[in-house]
Structure 1
């Protein structure tokens, strides 16, 4: 189903690309017609050049939106540092590719229509265009159709790849710009990791202070009463023993939230199963990783799933939660947690911000989709390289 959706989006993207290519051809023709007489007048020439530069930049921006929305190329779609010259160069190089994609789409639709017509007439018992339509002719037409369909699909895939390459070459960041952006991202992620570590330390201190420390104080009071009241010593020691067991359980829970030992001993699948068991809401886990990921990726995936489940249980009033762990085409691990709660989760909240920082430290992508009324989906894509 996902492949079909991608193919439909790519087809729409190529169709829109053919329209923008046609608009580009018209604009380039008008530019030549208008600019030729304006060359003799410096002011008029400058005004015309500014107008076409602005139009080329806007048209390139629309094409970037098309690449990001329909051709799944966020790298080319997300950069805005190019100037008018690069935009005009891109449009000048790109319009033949756009028209080629439109031509392949038209021919593919025409061929599919002819095949559908022939099949419909044959099934109805007729003879398409007077042809004696036997099984030999059907096999010939079927083979010919499969070959043409294969060529059409390969042509469309090749056109999409060319579209991406041309956009990245002319509209994407240069090597210097990419290096500067990478340095800025690393600086930000380093600061965010430090902030996340500090927040984690504060959370651990709060858990120890509000939980374990208070129970230790109560334990000391019980033992003190047992010393002062020998007649009640058996009862008080029994209560102290029960309190000791609760302290041990709470210490294990705090240690588990810091880093689950099951990740090292058993792996991510068993650690997620433990998250599902400890949740107060039914949790369904779908795990489809062929190999065990690196330890740092496992830890980040576990923290994303665990924190998302905790948030859904505490704040979303969810009645059902699902955890999905799989791989993307690039080899990255995709962790997705969906709940049927009330929605409206704040991506800038402390918990989700901490997860975003943890994912960013691995050069991953983090996304929260939580419309009012739900459902809420928390997604993290973690590179394994």
Structure 2
């Protein structure tokens, strides 16, 4: 729940926003009443439409700055939508200005009446002194009027935002265009991420497992050619250790391709495996009550696993924390390490994770100032309630 200070700050910002809205309404009235009829003249259209766009832009900035409007919803409307918006916005702005004017007049009257009561003079400047009942009645009436004015300003704010949603927000065609563009970008990112993953798997197999197997073959060959039993036994011991390490490397590669623990035990079990295989202490906080759909679990797993791998490879952390918690409409995966920071969000590893998350209609962020800590956060929508 917001604190009293936060509410007061919001109220002050809202008051400033409504005051600016009242001033802008005067310019809107000039445009609507005086200039709009002239719009029929072809030579005057560019100037009038340009003024309309400037007024819309002023309202957009006012709404975003003072009335918590989402700037991403704003688009450049056509002239018919601009005209419809400004006509309605003018009325709302003038109503807000009128209420603010009444509040200012009432506040001034309240200050004057209070000073008269304190000084012992009759309220209103009469000759007869007021009784306490009359003073209380005046105070109650003032509070009622103030209450009505506050709710009137709240109503004006709601109307102001609603008009912006209706006329400045994207149309269905614009939403569809944005969605198609987003899907095209996401698809390209997913293809690139898959190619990067294939190249990484090839490098891991070539530089890791393959080299281990070559070394194993050399050790076994030397053991076969050894004439001394002690030397042959030592080479066989080394070959056995090399084979065990090759198995561990191969298991690590397969885990990074797709962990079977996801199918067997779910996301929680798979992340416990990530924590156990880490070379530094990893704490896991898992707050989901039910299993997710498999695609979401897969993305969440790779976000946590790759974030841990990147931290170990580049951040030199002493401790890593993994959190998987429910959030409104989805889940959030947070990986935090106390390493040196400075992670590059557009690097191959993190950009690949961003592509995975974007493909699932999620939101991916990285906060990694130089000196640390690094916080990787991914919000993912889910198909089941958690």
**Which TM-score band (shorter chain)?**
0.7 to 0.9
Question: Quick check: 1:346 aligned with 2:344?
Answer: yes
Deviation at 1:39, TM superposition (A): 4.2
Q: Aligned residue for 1:332?
A: 330
Q: Aligned residue for 2:252?
A: 253
1:276-355 alignment to 2 at 5 Å? Answer: 276-329=275-328, 331-355=329-353
Question: Quick check: 1:174 aligned with 2:171?
Answer: yes
Structure 1, residues 260-302: CA drift from partner, whole Å, max 9, x if none? Answer: 2222222222322332333334333322223221111111111
Q: Aligned residue for 2:243?
A: 244
SS of the residue corresponding to residue 218 of structure 2 reads helix
Corresponding residue to 2:191 among 171, 190, 194: 194
Q: Aligned residue for 1:234?
A: 233
SS of the residue corresponding to residue 321 of structure 2 reads strand
Single out whichever of 350-359 and 227-236 deviates more from structure 2: 227-236
Task: Quickly say closer, same or farther: Cα 1:47–1:197, change in 2 above 3 A.
Answer: closer
Deviation at 1:25, TM superposition (A): 1.6
SS of the residue corresponding to residue 372 of structure 2 reads coil
Q: Aligned residue for 2:22?
A: 22
Task: Quickly say closer, same or farther: Cα 1:95–1:281, change in 2 above 3 A.
Answer: farther
Alignment partners' CA distance in 1, 2:2 and 2:287: 16
Alignment partners' CA distance in 1, 2:93 and 2:314: 48
Deviation at 1:194, TM superposition (A): 1.4
Asked which structure has the greater CA Rg, the reply is 2
Task: Quickly say closer, same or farther: Cα 1:243–1:39, change in 2 above 3 A.
Answer: closer
SS of the residue corresponding to residue 226 of structure 1 reads helix
Q: Aligned residue for 1:35?
A: 35
TM-score by length of structure 1 reads 0.74
Q: Aligned residue for 1:208?
A: 205
**Do 1:9 and 1:70's aligned partners in 2 also have CA atoms closer than 8 Å?**
no
> How many residues are aligned here?
344
Q: Aligned residue for 2:219?
A: 222
Deviation at 1:130, TM superposition (A): 7.3
Q: Aligned residue for 1:369?
A: 367
Corresponding residue to 1:381 among 376, 379, 385: 379
**Do 2:32 and 2:86's aligned partners in 1 also have CA atoms closer than 8 Å?**
no
Deviation at 1:255, TM superposition (A): 0.9
Q: Aligned residue for 2:81?
A: 86
Alignment partners' CA distance in 2, 1:164 and 1:33: 23
SS of the residue corresponding to residue 344 of structure 2 reads coil
Alignment partners' CA distance in 2, 1:34 and 1:253: 74
Task: Quickly say closer, same or farther: Cα 1:260–1:91, change in 2 above 3 A.
Answer: farther
Deviation at 1:326, TM superposition (A): 1.9
1:124-163 alignment to 2 at 5 Å? Answer: none
SS of the residue corresponding to residue 236 of structure 2 reads helix
Task: Quickly say closer, same or farther: Cα 1:219–1:15, change in 2 above 3 A.
Answer: farther
SS of the residue corresponding to residue 70 of structure 1 reads coil
Alignment partners' CA distance in 2, 1:371 and 1:288: 28
TM-score by length of structure 2 reads 0.73
Structure 1: state its 5+ residue gaps.
111-128, 132-147
Deviation at 1:357, TM superposition (A): 0.7
Alignment partners' CA distance in 2, 1:97 and 1:315: 56
Task: Quickly say closer, same or farther: Cα 1:219–1:61, change in 2 above 3 A.
Answer: same
Structure 1, residues 66-96: CA drift from partner, whole Å, max 9, x if none? Answer: 48x935x46515xx34345534533443466
Task: Quickly say closer, same or farther: Cα 1:162–1:30, change in 2 above 3 A.
Answer: closer
- What CA RMSD, in Å, does the superposition of the two structures yield over aligned residues? 4.1
Deviation at 1:26, TM superposition (A): 2.4
**Do 2:285 and 2:322's aligned partners in 1 also have CA atoms closer than 8 Å?**
yes
Single out whichever of 331-340 and 250-259 deviates more from structure 2: 331-340
Structure 2: state its 5+ residue gaps.
107-130, 134-146
**Do 1:56 and 1:88's aligned partners in 2 also have CA atoms closer than 8 Å?**
no
Task: Quickly say closer, same or farther: Cα 1:313–1:82, change in 2 above 3 A.
Answer: farther
